[in-house]
Structure 1
Amino acid sequence: MNQLKTLTVIGAGGKMGMRISANFQKSDYQVFYCENSPAAQQQVIQQGRELSDADSVVPLSDVVILAVPDIVLGKVSEAVVPQMKPGAVLLTLDPAAAYANLIFQRDDIDYAVAHPCHPSVFLERYTKEEHADAFGGIAAIQHVAAAWEAGSEAQRDELSKVIRVMYGPVEQVHWVTVTQLAYLEPTLVETVACMVGAFMKEALDETVKHSGVPEEAAKAMLYGHIQIALAVAFRATNPFSDACMIAMEYGREKIVKPDWKQIFEQKELDIVIARMLKIDAIRR
């Protein structure tokens, strides 16, 4: 495969666009930054990046990265994909639109998705910068899950170099299918993990409100037990006590629906992604 040398970031002034552009700016790649919003354009310029016209630079690019919200990916791809040169790669940052078949298609270009895993709760962090980098892409190392089903091993290896810079520092790029990536996000990490995180905050607030426990005491108790709960559940760091197991079972009876695993059925994945993209149904 030819080397990927020239990149274009569409949506360079958005949240993800700014994050990945900061890493590309320090790389050896030739990178063009494109942004339509006047306010976001100023953010790009303030970081010392020169803005380019998409119509001029997309046809020159080996990889075009769409760093735009999921709900507009289809519309943006309709404008961008026809301008891409044959053999180029369209790289999106979330699987939802690709899973829903909303991306404009051409037979002579390639399509890939790459999403950051974010730094692990079990990551050994040695510096203040690593501790401060909860999201990843600055100092704390993370993994990336990516999909390029039509790509060869050599093509994936070459695109991995771009991905490692974009989300760096990166320990490993895990290659999966688009559907598998959609089961990872949203199902595993948003439908379950992020929901549980928000639920724990709600439980903390209710504890303080209902019992009168000082908020700092409740936070100290919860934050420490989040750490140990994850360590025991995922790392088998000593077992939960017998009394804890009884309380956990009571909590499951009161809080968790018996049929909760249906979220892993594809029809349920279709439902949640359609909701996220604000469309009536997934295209097949």
Structure 2
Amino acid sequence: MDSQIAEAIMKTVAIIGAGGKMGARAAEKLTSAGRWRLLLCESDPRKAAGLDLTPTPEAMRQADHVVMAVPDALIGRIARELVPLMKDGGTLIMLDAAAAYIGELPSREGVTQMIAHPCHPPFFTVQPTPEAQSDYFGGVAQQDIVVALIEGEEEHFEEGIEVCKDMFGPVKRALRVTPEQFALLEPAMAEILVAAACCWMKEALEETVARGVPREAAEAFMAGHAQIALAIAFGAEKAPFSDAAKLAIEWGTRRYINPEWRRAFDREVLTEAIEFMLRPQAS
């Protein structure tokens, strides 16, 4: 009887795309939290095997929170299908800001919409266990999350944050931004600039190997110098770059970094980038 009462007062979370990697991970984490009733929805028969599925229309009628664990390119289309089916007072949780930034989400009175995304475990942080220390994505290691309210009720947004804390846990902080600021963080900063720079670092390593440097030496040199450069640049190491390194950085920046890189944060440019990300075949 106690378990039946507990289940009756639990809020219900529907996971759209429950058979995918993110959906399965969300279901596992929310189940472990023990304070949410889960409804699993999956349209791909290949991913649905073994899942206890709820038909999507029925899940929308019951769910207090709907987690969109679907590819970024499908968020707009699926949201337009789901929002009219959601119950009044429901909350739609997007895991990416792109669709919201370019206006692909439908608006409906009585439905709260929000975005949540993990920051991932930060560098230069000592985690409590070896398993957590080697966790780069999060889920074992502690991390922060970023959240934004697109529209709707603060009360429902706050409860949605609790869903996201459990889904991405262990979570240290939930940091609130606006939907527009969210897109500046990702894709502008984190993907268009930072991830591209990291891939450029890997290409630089491969070029040194192609020019005859032994791979073992190149990888060791890159690993150590990347770490100390990040530590100095972000203030984890208080010693500065050497005078020669400062000149090399200045010369390399002038010669090889596009001086217009800050335009990645401009609305027109960022909209163009998101359109390409969501519809590459049209570009």
Instruction: Give the secondary-structure state (helix, strand or coil) at the position aligned to 1:173.
Output: strand
Alpha-carbon distance, 1:265 to partner: 1.4
Q: In 1, distance between residues paired with 2:36 and 2:13?
A: 7
* SS of match in other structure, 1:107: coil
With normalisation by structure 2, the TM-score equals 0.91
User: Match of 1:98?
Assistant: 100
The corresponding residue for 1:78 is 80
Please tell me whether the aligned partners of residues 4 and 158 of structure 1 are also in contact (alpha carbons under 8 angstroms): no
Greater mean alpha carbon deviation, residues 248-257 or residues 199-208: 248-257
What does residue range 1-284 of structure 1 map to in structure 2 within 5 Å?
Answer: 5-27=11-33, 28-42=35-49, 45=50, 49-137=51-139, 139-150=140-151, 154-210=155-211, 212-235=212-235, 236-278=237-279
Which ranges of structure 2 fall in alignment gaps of 5 or more residues? 1-8
Question: What is the SS of the residue equivalent to 2:209?
Answer: helix
Contact persistence 2:96–2:117 (CA under 8 A): yes
Going from structure 1 to structure 2, the CA distance change for 1:65 and 1:118 (only over 3 Å counts) comes to: same
TM-score by length of 1: 0.90
* Structure-2 change in CA distance of 1:142 and 1:102 (3 Å): same
Q: Identity over aligned residues, as a percent? A: 39
- Which residue identity lines up with residue 238 of structure 1 in the other structure? A
Contiguous gaps of at least 5 residues in structure 1: none
Rounded to whole Å, the distance in 1 between the matches of 2:113 and 2:10 is 14
Aligned residues: 272
Q: Which amino acid aligns with 1:106?
A: R
Counterparts of 2:90 and 2:177 in 1: how far apart (Å)? Answer: 20
Query: Shift of residue 155 of structure 1?
Result: 3.9
Question: What displacement does 1:4 show?
Answer: 7.4
Letter in 2 for 1:146: V
Instruction: Please give the alpha-carbon distance, in whole angstroms, between the structure 1 residues aligned to 2:199 and 2:280.
Output: 25
Q: Distance in 1 between matches of 2:157 and 2:54?
A: 27
Runs of 4+ that moved beyond 6 A: none
Check the 8 A contact 2:110/2:152 in 1, yes or no.
no
Alpha-carbon contact 1:60-1:85 (below 8 Å) kept: yes
By relative contact order (CA 8 Å, sep 6+), the higher-ranking structure is 1
Contact 2:142 2:170 in 1 (8 A): yes
CA offset digits 1:51-109 (Å, max 9, x no partner) = 22112121111001111111111221122111111111011100001111112221221
SS of corresponding position for 1:104: coil
Tell me if the contact between 2:13 and 2:39 (Cα under 8 Å) persists in the aligned partners: yes
**Contact 1:160 1:173 (C-alpha < 8 Å) held by counterparts:** yes
Once the two structures are TM-superposed, the CA of residue 260 in structure 1 deviates from its matched residue by 1.8
Contact residue 8 and residue 64 of structure 1 kept, 8 A: yes
CA–CA distance in structure 2, aligned partners of residues 223 and 7 of structure 1: 42
